[in-house]
Structure 1
Amino acid sequence: MNNTTWNDSRFGPGSYEHASQEDRSTPRMRVHFGASVRPSGVRGFQTIVRDLSLGGYTAVSPARLDVHNFCWLAIPGFPAMQGEVIWWDAGLFGVAFGTLLDLSTFNAIIAYQRSGSGADDLVV
Structure 2
Amino acid sequence: MTAQARSLPALFEGKVHTIAPFGKDAMQTTDDRYHIAAQEDRCAPRTKLTIPASLRASGGRAFQSVVHDLSISGFSAASINRMHEGQLCWLTLPGLESLQAQVVWWDNCIVGCAFSELLSPIVHDNILQRYSSTGIYRSAI
**Pairwise same-fold verdict (TM > 0.5):** yes
Say whether the 8 Å CA contact 1:84–1:95 is kept in structure 2: yes
Say whether the 8 Å CA contact 1:87–1:94 is kept in structure 2: yes
Deviations 1:80-122 (A, max 9, x none): 111101110111110100111111000111122148xxxxxxx
What is the identity, as a one-letter code, of the residue corresponding to 2:75?
Y
Report the TM-score when normalising by structure 1: 0.75
Say whether the 8 Å CA contact 2:48–2:132 is kept in structure 1: no
Gap regions ≥5 residues in structure 1: 6-13, 116-124
Given the alignment of the two structures, is residue 77 of structure 1 paired with residue 91 of structure 2, yes or no? Answer: no
After TM superposition, give the deviation of residue 18 of structure 1 in Å: 4.4
What is the identity, as a one-letter code, of the residue corresponding to 1:40?
S
Alignment match, 1:110:
128
Report the TM-score when normalising by structure 2: 0.67
CA distance in 2, matches of 1:67, 1:76: 25
Residue 2 of structure 1 aligns to a residue in which SS?
Answer: strand
Q: CA RMSD in A?
A: 1.7
Alignment match, 2:105:
87
Q: Percent identity?
A: 34
Given the alignment of the two structures, is residue 16 of structure 1 paired with residue 28 of structure 2, yes or no? Answer: no
Alignment match, 2:79:
61
Gap regions ≥5 residues in structure 2: 1-9, 15-35, 134-141
* CA distance 1:107–1:15, shift in 2 (3 Å): closer
